Amino acid sequence: DVELEPLPRVIGSVHAGGQPIAAALVELIAEREEGSLVKNGFPLRMDTERVSWGKTNADGSFALDVDLDASQRIYVRVAVKGSDFATSELGPLSVATATGGPLEFELTPGGMIEGRVIHADGRNGEGVIVGINCGDGGARTLRAGPGGAYRFEHLRPGKWQVVRRESAIYSGSIPLSS
């Protein structure tokens, strides 16, 4: 007889305004040494591939198996595509911590970054491409509008890099380098 041990599981629930969120995407992503991988010209702090993923049940609950060493560090991310909720994230957590008990996510619309591009000579920056990055592989770009104004919405709390870009990021265009 052989007795197999089950894989550790990350369990938890996702809510918004106290209500469960069904079909939210929950991802486990391994931590990377910051700057060891670059995507679309921005440094990453997490891998580009998921360790595990799944969707929440009707009651907002989720359970994901983790086939990693207990000391490995991961991020747990929750996103609801096509909604006004910001991505929510915990981490980096050791696998041992992440599997130690239920994780709770309360989704919100998130925050925003807004500003105005002004050239060194004082001209407004209308049309300048502005990019933002938080190291998760989901960098965004947009062109500054009238008066050089720009605004990015539905952002998760945390550190964000804001830079002038020479080119926009288009979906389907994912140059990676290490």
pLDDT of residue 171: 63
Which of 73, 75, 64 has its CA nearest to residue 13?
64
Query: What does 49-61 look like in DSSP terms, one character per residue?
Result: EEEEEEE--TTSE
Q: How sure is the predictor about 70, in pLDDT bands with cuts at 50, 70 and 90?
A: confident
Which of 3, 62, 59, 51 has its CA nearest to residue 28?
51
Give pLDDT tens digits for 116-175. Answer: 999 999 999 999 999 999 999 999 999 999 999 999 999 999 999 999 999 999 865 444
Instruction: Give the other-Cβ count within 10 Å of 28's Cβ.
Output: 22
Distance CA 121, CA 143 (A): 19
pLDDT at residue 24 greater than cutoff 70: yes
Rounded to the nearest integer, the mean pLDDT of the chain is: 92
Instruction: Give the other-Cβ count within 10 Å of 66's Cβ.
Output: 19
